[in-house]
Amino acid sequence: MNQDTKNREVPEWDAYFMGIAEEVAKRSKDPSSQNGCVIVDSRKRPVSFGYNGTIQGADESKMTLSERPMKYYFAIHSEMNALLFAGRDVTGCTLYNKMATCENCLKYCLQAGIKRFVYKELRVGSYRNGEKKSMTNIATDEAIIRLLVACPDVETLNITNGKTYIEDILDSYDKDSDEYQSLVKWVK
């Protein structure tokens, strides 16, 4: 241990950048979910930040984020904001996000060259709290699994429990269910 830090805890890099992502999330005006994102290069230098919100320069009183499903037409996810404002190539970078990336943002992040995803929460949604998942939820989970299986050099990590994104998704299903069986086949 370094003499300068022996009397205090210095966070590991993943915890450090996740803490920054959580601070960035506080900028979101979405009343139901505040998500923050930090993109970091291989030398541990921040490249970009983003949080979920409405489009830049918009009169937010005309585009409320509290009305579902209307908010989905106005909201831009934290990952997309971070990608759009990066201003440079993000190939090989790590993306720190408070909530796991949705299937749409995951697709764009993979296309941009992000190689590592670190998150703290699986996803927000009542179906994650024991309620029956809709066909849309199941299709979303399948899309995420198939994207990640197709990109084996991409790493994912839930900083809270140490699981991968695929493990987290599969663990949210009853292992005896037809839905679980339809998802696990993509992993084998």
**Catalytic residue IDs:** 79
DSSP string covering 91-143: TT-EEEEEEPPPHHHHHHHHHHT--EEEEEES--SGGGGTSPPPHHHHHHHHH
113 and 92 Cβ atoms separated by less than 8 Å:
yes
83 and 109 Cβ atoms separated by less than 8 Å:
yes
- Angstrom distance (rounded) from CA 151 to CA 38: 21
The alpha carbons of the chain give a radius of gyration, in whole angstroms, of 17
User: For residue 69, what are its two tokens?
Assistant: 């499903």
